[in-house]
Structures are given as C-alpha cells and as structure tokens.
Amino acid sequence: MKLERAILLAFFANYLVNNVVAAVVALIPPSATPGILTPQYMSFVVLSALLVAAFTWWYMKKGGDLQMGVIFGVTGFLVAIITALVSGLAGVVLQTGSLSQMVSVLPNFWPFLANWSTIVLLGYWVIPAVAIGWYVGRSGMTNEPPKPIF
C-alpha cells in the first residue's frame, strides 16, 4: 500500500495550504462584516480544495480508485489535525519553557476540534480526494504517457 507516500504528500500539501494558500488569500482585502462567508475564507477553501485535488492526482500517479481517494483524504485530514496539535504544543513549550504548562493546555485542544472549522477542514481534504479517486477509477486514467505501439 502507498500509505507512506500518502502521509508524505499530505504533510507537504498541508504545509502548502497553511503557508502558501494562506499567504495568497491574505492579498484579498478583508471583508467589513465578520463571519465565515467572507471572500477571504471562501477563497481559502476553494484554493485549498484545488491544491488537495492536485496532490490527490499526484498520489494516484499510476492509477487509483475511489478507495485510494478516501484513504488519501482521510490521511490528509489526520495529518492536518496531528500537525496542529504538535505545533500548538511545541509553541507553548517554546514560549513558556514549561512542560507542565504544555500539559495544562492539552484540554484546550478538544474545543478546537469541536469547532465548525474542523468540518470545513474535513471537507476540503476528503471531498476533492474522493472526487479525483472516483474519476480516476471510473475512467481508468493514469498520468503515464501512452506506450509506443512498436
């Protein structure tokens, strides 16, 4: 199975989403009204979904199916959650220099997961990956060039 490849590509895609896509979206002027339906947030979700679709296509370089799309989408979602947890804990340790302070912050991670943004994160990781997996599996397409006849 290509699980190691999925984890590596998901980590790279998560890095690009959190840094490059966020930087591009920051160029859009902020909206006067707060909320989740702002041009910046919607642009972030759309660009993130397109990036995940491209990485899913790359993951299925030699063919794939719906199951591989689901595996890549769920793997990417879990990598994003684990990366947020580790980054948050490392940030607390670096700012305070105290492991006991880090342990006291751990219960605050559950409200972070119970937020609506976690559902959006799940959506922009799983929906494009499943769609690309379905398309590649249905059409039997690969990214390989056609083989010569002779």
Mean pLDDT of 38-56: 94
Tell me the two tokens of residue 41: 């947030």
Contact 129, 52 (CB under 8 A): yes
Residue 87 domain flag: yes
Closest CA to 128 of 39, 13, 3, 5: 13
Q: Give percent of the chain with pLDDT exceeding 70.
A: 92
Most confident listed range (23-27, 35-39, 110-114, 139-143): 23-27
Let me know if residue 80 belongs to a domain.
yes
d(CA 76, CA 69): 11
Could you tell me if residue 143 is inside a domain?
no
More confident residue, 30 or 54: 54
Report the predicted TM-score, pTM, of the whole model to 2 decimal places.
Answer: 0.83
pLDDT of residue 142: 56
Domain count, the chain: 1
Q: How far apart are CA 55 and CA 60, in angstroms?
A: 9
Residue 98 lies in a domain: yes
Q: Is residue 147 part of a domain?
A: no
Q: How far is residue 78 from each of residues 6, 59, 118, measured CA to CA in Å?
A: 11, 16, 11
- Tell me, yes or no, whether 83 lies in a domain: yes
Residue 145: pLDDT over 60: no
Q: State the average pLDDT over residues 74-83.
A: 95
Q: Does some domain include residue 52?
A: yes
CB 55 within 8 A of CB 13: yes
Average pLDDT score, the chain: 87
Name 63's Cβ contacts closer than 8 Å, sequence gap at least 6. 136, 140, 141, 142
Residue (of 71, 61, 64, 72) closest to 13 by Cα position: 72
Q: Is 84's pLDDT higher than 70?
A: yes
Q: What angle do CA 10, 14, 15 make, to 5 degrees?
A: 120
Closest CA relative to residue 91, chosen from 113, 115, 108, 78: 108
Q: Give the domain range for residue 56.
A: 3-28+36-138
Give me 100's structure tokens: 């006991």
